[in-house]
Copies of this chain bind each other. A is one copy, B any other.
Amino acid sequence: MPKPPKMADIAKAAGVSPMTVSRAFRRDASVGEKTREKILQIAEELGYVFDSTASNLRSQRTGFVAVTIPSLNNANFADTVRGLNEALQSHDLQLLLGYTDYNVEAEERLVEQLLRRRPEAIVVTGGRHTERCRRLLQNAGIPVVETWDIPEAPIGHAVGFSNADAMAQMVEHLHGSGARRMAFVGGDDRGDTRGADRRRGFVAAARRLGVDHRLLALGPPPVSMREGCKAMAEILDDPDPVDAVICVSDLAAFGALSECQRRNVRVPEDIMIAGFGGFDIAEIAVPAFSTIDAHSFEIGMQAGTLLASLLRGGGDLDRGRVIQRIRPTLKISRSTAARG
């Protein structure tokens, strides 16, 4: 098997210097139009594939943007990644994706692994990190964006919202619909700081409104539909049930809703249900249930746009620390309608 051709081979075949071939492969470079076409054609014929490993080393630019998310199998984070990708791909920036499985130690390892690849920027989910992880990010010398939270002490930029406030809004809405005894269904939140923040917001708002409240924890995140079923089963089996159930995610909320249907418990007449995330299912389920749309896609898009302008934007790099606050939307549906 012959070795694959390199630029020097193309150069020889085209009767130009390797430098000219290099220029022919880049948008910005100045090469005669005819020369470029000839070079590209010869490259195609010889089956040349540009080698970015060499380019990366010499130019000290990889075109990578590293991204850490807790889990791929979560429509919210997937949407954020989609937004990032959309904003970045037109600038020749490639996502380098890794997941942390809702675990800050795993995040630290992952971040180190990603930084070895010399990304030009890094996007992390959440604002809680190990000490060493913070240090790594700070010293990396590249733009850092924390998403989904607005951390108290951001490392670099941030695009997110207050999970606690968003949840508090939902509690107020339910209270306005007449709910007086509420349950919060969440997961263990050692690693899921967003889940923990939502729970905090729930408790704070419930206290403030003087609403009776209880908490259910359901094992490690991500909290799925099945867990929602179990939680609702537990709630309904309780001799002294609640008026309203708020779930840490729409998946759990749907599980809860389905459990009600199985038992012929009416929603919202017998019990109200609300979720979090703005998933399609909240709108499609019967009855549709109330949720909070955190605008996952938008979060990614904004983080991506910010990075694109920082990395490829020309001169105005010094806009300092950017804290982008997204406003989650409360989407009210029949599942939390006030009782006639």
Contact = CB atoms under 8 A, between A and B. Distances in A.
Interface of A: 1, 4, 47, 49-54, 56-57, 62, 72-73, 75, 78-79, 81-82, 85, 94-99, 112-113, 115-118, 135-136, 139-141, 224-226, 229, 251, 254-255, 258, 261-262, 280-281, 284-286
Contacts of A51: 116, 118
Contacts of A224: 280
B82 A49 contact: no
A231 to B, nearest CB: 13
Assembly of this chain: how many copies? 2
Contacts of A53: 53, 56-57, 62, 117-118
Contacts of A113: 94
A78 B85 contact: no
Contacts of A281: 225, 254, 281
Contacts of A285: 258
Contact of A280 (B50, B99, B226): B226
A85 B73 contact: no
Contacts of A56: 53, 56-57
A273 B229 CA distance: 22
A61 to B, nearest CB: 10
Nearest to A60: B53
Contact of A116 (B49, B96, B139): B49
Q: Which of A136, A141, A285 has the most CB of B within 10 A?
A: A285
A57 B251 CA distance: 45
A95 B69 CA distance: 14
Contacts of A57: 53-54, 56-57
A194 B131 CA distance: 46
29 contacts: A1-B141, A4-B141, A47-B139, A49-B112, A50-B116, A51-B118, A52-B117, A53-B53, A53-B57, A53-B117, A53-B118, A56-B57, A72-B72, A72-B78, A72-B82, A73-B75, A73-B78, A73-B82, A75-B75, A78-B78, A96-B96, A97-B97, A225-B281, A226-B280, A229-B284, A254-B281, A255-B284, A258-B286, A261-B286
Given A72-B82, A73-B82, A49 B115 contact: yes
Contacts of A96: 94, 96
Q: Which of A226, A258, A262 has the most CB of B within 10 A?
A: A258
